[in-house]
Copies of this chain bind each other. A is one copy, B any other.
């Protein structure tokens, strides 16, 4: 940490220095032309946060130097993690496509979709049984019935299954049916839930919150990994900005920035980012070119009848076409599917 002093008075500086030392850090004072700064040296974890020194008189600002994540970071593990969802691999050169409907609506809808995405080359079936909806009056998901259908569709078509878990209570149930646990954007900082899935043996698919920084996404991954579950897949699905032409703004730069800091695989979800089906194919291609390890794409046999997110779902044929278009691109960037 760097502590920027508002005062250059020796007494004021000494007062902060003794506080820094009292908290277990070594203090280096640097007297500049216009400001005096104090560099506090020492491992911060397990110690009192120096940030609170901003409450002291004569302290202008406290600037952190270290990234706060550890286990999720490249300093602890340099090479890319390869994570397995059933027989499917993601990361370290393995490209993985998660596809399926936003919500499980019926046996027919789910099976039609699962069959089609399998044939098109998708690797994992997605589908929501518990749905986080902005309105209490909207369809909230088929719950256990949906989980049963997901498991059955997955087995029928040879696709492992990922589905969202919204509360700690749902964990035993979801673990029974699903191959991977999805934490939605709205729950990215639901720390109780993060700790709970951190104790599970199933891989976790962690979506970035719409206003979460890249740092905060990594800290949420850190919650899961520090509880003992190293199998976390990160997903950028759009952030909230002033632009209203799209549902969210896809932060495509998050891919190389995350790759710089973490060994965990990074997936792009162009469906939620764009909010409109016709933007999904170009954004899927951009994601591959940017170095993503996978894609999550919403697919529906009849989008105009979908109970949720129909406007951003690809029809079965359009998805198959996209998968063909992606093939050469994935090869070009040196990844395998």
CA distance A252 to B273 in the complex (A): 11
Instruction: Report yes or no: A168 in contact with B169, Cβ–Cβ below 8 A.
Output: yes
Measured CB to CB, the closest approach of chain B to A207, in angstroms, equals 13
Assess whether A110 is interfacial by the CB under 8 Å rule.
no
Scan residues 72-129 of chain A and give those whose CB is less than 8 A from a CB of chain B. Answer: 75
Instruction: Report yes or no: B260 in contact with A278, Cβ–Cβ below 8 A.
Output: yes
Assess whether A336 is interfacial by the CB under 8 Å rule.
no
Instruction: Report yes or no: A304 in contact with B56, Cβ–Cβ below 8 A.
Output: yes
CA distance A105 to B264 in the complex (A): 35
Which of the residues B136, B168, B249, B282 comes within 8 Å of A256, measured between beta carbons? B282
Which of the residues B35, B209, B252 comes within 8 Å of A252, measured between beta carbons? B252
Given contacts A249-B249, A311-B52, contact A135 B168 (CB under 8 A): no
Question: Across the interface, which residues of B come within 8 angstroms of A278, CB to CB?
Answer: 256, 260
Instruction: Report yes or no: A33 in contact with B39, Cβ–Cβ below 8 A.
Output: no
State how many residues of chain A have any CB contact under 8 Å with chain B: 109
Instruction: Report yes or no: B55 in contact with A304, Cβ–Cβ below 8 A.
Output: yes
Question: Across the interface, which residues of B come within 8 angstroms of A173, CB to CB?
Answer: none
Question: Across the interface, which residues of B come within 8 angstroms of A291, CB to CB?
Answer: 282
Question: Across the interface, which residues of B come within 8 angstroms of A42, CB to CB?
Answer: 32-33
Question: Across the interface, which residues of B come within 8 angstroms of A276, CB to CB?
Answer: 54
CA distance A256 to B283 in the complex (A): 9
Question: Across the interface, which residues of B come within 8 angstroms of A250, CB to CB?
Answer: 251-253
Measured CB to CB, the closest approach of chain B to A189, in angstroms, equals 4
Assess whether A216 is interfacial by the CB under 8 Å rule.
yes
Nearest residue in B to A260 (C-beta to C-beta)? B278
Measured CB to CB, the closest approach of chain B to A23, in angstroms, equals 9
Question: Across the interface, which residues of B come within 8 angstroms of A309, CB to CB?
Answer: 52
Instruction: Report yes or no: B242 in contact with A213, Cβ–Cβ below 8 A.
Output: yes
Instruction: Report yes or no: A311 in contact with B51, Cβ–Cβ below 8 A.
Output: yes
Question: Across the interface, which residues of B come within 8 angstroms of A32, CB to CB?
Answer: 39, 41-42, 65
Measured CB to CB, the closest approach of chain B to A8, in angstroms, equals 12
Assess whether A49 is interfacial by the CB under 8 Å rule.
yes
Assess whether A306 is interfacial by the CB under 8 Å rule.
yes
11 contacts between A and B (CB under 8 A): A2-B2, A37-B39, A51-B310, A54-B310, A55-B306, A55-B311, A136-B219, A136-B223, A169-B192, A239-B243, A253-B283
